[in-house]
Amino acid sequence: MGFSKLVTIVFGVAFIIVLYFIIYYALKIMYKDVKGGGRRRQSSAKKNYGIEVLSVGENSNLEEGSILLLNGVITIGRKDGNTIRLTEPYASGNHARVLVKNNEILIEDLNSTNGVFINDEKINGYAKIRANDKIRIGSAIFKVIRAEKN
């Protein structure tokens, strides 16, 4: 009987210790919730970007000054399924892809024949672009803009 009483006491003490740790961590989480007011803090506000058409070049379907908001993925090329459809012969069917990922704008050259130029420098594969960068595809020139919140 002495051994079974010892085991019972050890398990009882271990159970109480585990229970106190659970209560401690629950109170710690509740304190952080109350202290923060229930709001999550964002490290940086979400930025909204767009692409403005600066020069239409030989593209009859584009209009200078038009702006396309960067929501998800934008594809550029001559094929009908592209978000921005170019009509000139210097653009490939699927020429480029622009996307926003983690508040960074990426452009990808989709193995086009004549390439994608950022600020007059040809890119290979992916490249990061920023607000006010100029994108040239064929004779069309686009500018990356950032929407300001008021």
Share of the chain above pLDDT 70, in %: 90
CA 93 from chain center: how many Å? 25
The number of beta carbons lying within 10 Å of the beta carbon of residue 70 is 21
**Which DSSP state fits 113?**
S
Q: What is the CA radius of gyration of the chain?
A: 29
**What's the pLDDT score for residue 40?**
59
In tens, the pLDDT along 91-114 reads 899 999 998 888 788 999 998 888
Q: How confident is the model at residue 39 (pLDDT cuts 50, 70, 90)?
A: low
**What's the pLDDT score for residue 38?**
54
β-strands 48-55, 126-129: how paired?
Answer: unpaired
Report how far apart, in Å, the C-alpha atoms of 16 and of each of 10, 11, 24, 86, 87 are: 10, 9, 12, 71, 75
Q: How confident is the model at residue 37 (pLDDT cuts 50, 70, 90)?
A: low
